[in-house]
Amino acid sequence: MSEKEHNVSRRQFLTYTLTGVGGFMAAGMLMPMVRMAVDPVLEVGAEGDMVAVADLDELTEEPQSFPLNFEQDDGWYEAEIEETAWIYLDGDDVVALSPECTHLGCTVNWEANEDEPERFFCPCHFGLFERDGTNVPNTPPTEPLHRYEHEVRDGTVYLGRPQPQV
């Protein structure tokens, strides 16, 4: 029988099997390394605990900043992190806003600009936000300040992580 009568020639067969076996071995070698490298992407985010931040009767209609302390797990490194939250009462509802400007991440302050009362002001690029966190049109930020998940238990306000409002 000549080579021509076969659908797959001897050379092709060898090429396929050797490439297959070689590919399998290379994959077996590279898979653990690549899986290890992409682990942070595939990691399921841990649910953060709610942290006690303030007593309900400390809150007023005026936004006040409260410290928010929590343990941060960063791989092999654990850190005590202090964030702040702007908290106020809207009727009976508690509103807790993140001070992180949605433009480029600077820190905003309540009524920090004398010309802009009743607004959050970001000193970096003069971003402005209304009391409820809505960004003021024609200033750099393109979305409202993030809101902390919150929960009131026995007169104490607990905050989770800030979530986008849009």
Partner 1 sequence: MLQRIYDWVDERMDITPLWRDIADHEVPEHVNPAHHFSAFVYCFGGLTFFTVVIQFLSGMFLTMYYVPDIINAYESVMYLQSEVAFGMIVRGMHHWGASVVIVMMFLHTLRVFFTGAYKKPRELNWVVGVLIFFVILGLGFTGYLLPWDMKAYFATVVALEIAESVPVVGEMIRVLLAGHEELLGAQTLTRFFAIHVFFLPGALLGLLAAHFIMIRRQGISGPL
Residues within the interface to partner 1 (CB under 8 A) = 29-33, 35-37, 39, 42, 75-77
Tell me the closest approach of the beta carbon of residue 33 to partner 1, in angstroms.
4
Tell me the closest approach of the beta carbon of residue 40 to partner 1, in angstroms.
9
Comparing CA positions, the residue from 95, 103, 102, 104 lying closest to residue 66 is 95
Helix (H, G, I), strand (E, B) or coil at 25: helix
Tell me the closest approach of the beta carbon of residue 158 to partner 1, in angstroms.
28
Instruction: Count other C-beta atoms under 10 Å from residue 69's C-beta.
Output: 11
Residue 38 vs 112, nearer CB to partner 1: 38
**CA atoms of 138 and 136, how far apart (whole Å):** 7
Tell me the closest approach of the beta carbon of residue 69 to partner 1, in angstroms.
23
Residue 39 vs 82, nearer CB to partner 1: 39
Tell me the closest approach of the beta carbon of residue 131 to partner 1, in angstroms.
43
Residue 19 vs 69, nearer CB to partner 1: 19
- Collect all residues with Cβ–Cβ distance below 8 Å to 61 and sequence separation of at least 6: 88, 89, 90
Q: In whole angstroms, how large is the CA radius of gyration of the chain?
A: 28
Residue 22 vs 48, nearer CB to partner 1: 22
Residue 76 vs 137, nearer CB to partner 1: 76
Residue tagged 């071995």 (tokens): 25
**CA atoms of 107 and 49, how far apart (whole Å):** 24
